[in-house]
Amino acid sequence: GRGLNDAAAVGIVEKFIGLLFIVPSAMLATVSAIAAQNIGAKKPERARKTMEYAIAISVGFGTIAAVTLQFIPEYAVRIFTSDSTVITLGGQYLKGYVWDCIFAGIHFCFSGFFTACGYSIISFCHNFLSIVCARIPLSCLASVKFPDTLFPMGLASPAGSLLSVIICVTVYIVMRRKGKL
């Protein structure tokens, strides 16, 4: 099983990721509010453009954060602890997990858009499927198969978000073709 150092590293990285997720979360709220206003004003194209711009901002920010943190993950973890083992493990976990800033930013924007259009159930479904089909099983698998590093476990979250993105894009395309968005 995993020990105290692994738990501390994961906890610290979760706090740091929470800081990075301020931008994608802000984009979700922005898309939801502005898209809802435009849907209400019978201007769906403006609602879609809002989502597209928010996705571009989120992907841009997420890419910069993810690439930068590939080079300095331990420095980010060091903000929260001086324990060298926790810093090393946290750096491993962060190098994998930080890619979620890109994919979560995308599906957050879709969630805001779907909610604005009255389809919040889509957000529930893709998040549920992401958790059940990717995040939990991949975290468990990584924990067992890679006991000496947290990097693969860190990749479980972006994998789950990638699944959400695939679902969101697919649903968006299908609903657009059916004239529901």
Q: For the whole model, what pTM was predicted? A: 0.94
Asked if 150 and 89 touch (Cβ cutoff 8 Å), the reply is yes
Q: Identify the pLDDT of residue 1.
A: 63
CA distances from 21 to 1, 62, 106 (A): 29, 9, 12
Q: How far apart are CA 160 and CA 97, in angstroms?
A: 11
Q: Identify the pLDDT of residue 2.
A: 80
